[in-house]
Amino acid sequence: MHRKRILVTGGAGFLGSHLCDRLIAAGNEVICLDNFFTGSRDNIRHLLSHDLFDVVRHDVTQPIHLEVDEIYNLACPASPVHYQRDPVQTTKTSVHGAINVLDLARRLHVRVLQASTSEVYGDPEVHPQPESYWGKVNPTGFRSCYDEGKRCAETLFFDYNRQYQLEIKVARIFNTYGPRMQPDDGRVVSNFIVQALSGSPITIYGDGSQTRSFCYVSDLIDGLIRLMNTPEDVTGPINLGNPGEFTMLQLAELVVELTDSRSPIEFRPLPEDDPRQRQPEIERARTALGWAPSVALRDGLVETVSYFRSLLAQR
C-alpha cells in the first residue's frame, strides 16, 4: 500500500497535533508545518523522534515549497485571546495562508482540506446552524479578523475548485475541547477548568444563558479524516461539532462538580459580537461521512480536567 506524505499546517497546535498522531498511527508520513505563534513543541514532543514525522518551522503567509500527497490546512490562531493579539497577522494567516496552501496543492495536483469554523455564522439568526445559512457577521469588529478571514478562505477554496478543478474539502469546526488546549487561550472550557482547579472565581460573560456545543477532540479528528477521504464531489462545507447544546452556566456547574472545586461563579459583561447561540446541524456529516460524535460532554471533561490537573501540577 502506498504510504502518503501528508502536510499538516498548524500541526503543533491543539487540533493539529492530535491530527498528526492519528495520521501517523495509520502509517502515513507527516510533515508538521508551524510558526509556533500559538502552537507548542510540547504538543508534538512525543513525535519528534518518530521516523514518520518531520517538523518544518514556517509561516503559511509565505510560499510553501514541499512535496506532499495531501494537505490539511489548520494554521490560524483560533481563540479570541490569540487572534486579537495581532489581528492583521490573523487575517493574513487565513487569506494569504489559504492562497499559499492552495497554490501548493494546485502545483502538486493534490487534495487539500480547509479547517474553517463555526464563526463564519457569526451571531446567528438561524438555530441550529445548517451549512446553507450564510451567517450574520460584523465585518469591522474585534472578532472580524478571524471571522471574515475564515469566510474569505472558504471563498478562495471554492474559487480554486471551480477555476482550477482543485480537489477541496471544507470543514466548519464548532467548539472543540480536550487535552493539549492551552491554559491561557481564553476558550471557555480551558478557562473554567483552570479557574476551578486553581480556586479562582469562574468568570461567565453575560448572564450564563448563551449556549455552545462542545465536541471532544477525538471525535473532531475522526470527522476531519473521514471528510478528507470522501469522494471528489464531496467538497463541503460540512459542519463538524457536537449538536448537544449547553448554557455557559451548565458548563460551569459541571466543571465545578468534576473538579470538586469551591470556586464561586462571577458574571461579567458580554464581549462585543459574542454569539448568543451556537449549535451545529450535522445531518450532512451523518449522510456524507457516516459521522456523529460519540463522546459525551461529561466523559470528555473528565479527560480534559485530568490533563489540566497534571499540567498545573508540573508548573
Catalytic residues: 146
Task: Please give the Cα distance from 93 to 61 (Å, whole number).
Answer: 6
Under DSSP, is residue 223 helix (H, G, I), strand (E, B) or coil?
helix
Amino acid present at 191:
N
Task: Please give the Cα distance from 290 to 7 (Å, whole number).
Answer: 25
Q: Residue 212: beta bridge partners?
A: 246
The torsion region of residue 10 among left (phi > 0), alpha (psi -120 to 50) and beta comes to left
| Number of residues assigned to the chain | 315
Longest Cα–Cα distance in the chain: 58
Which residues are CB-contacts of 168 (< 8 A; sequence separation ≥ 6)?
A: 111, 112, 113, 114, 157, 158, 160, 161, 235, 236
Check residue 48 and report its DSSP letter.
T
The set of cell numbers assigned to 230 is: 470522501
Task: Please give the Cα distance from 309 to 299 (Å, whole number).
Answer: 16
Dihedral, CA of residue 157, residue 141, residue 214 and residue 153, to nearest 10? 10
CB 213, CB 244: distance < 8 Å: yes
CB 158, CB 235: distance < 8 Å: yes
The torsion region of residue 5 among left (phi > 0), alpha (psi -120 to 50) and beta comes to beta
Place of cell 460573560: 205
Q: Residue 30: beta bridge partners?
A: 6, 53
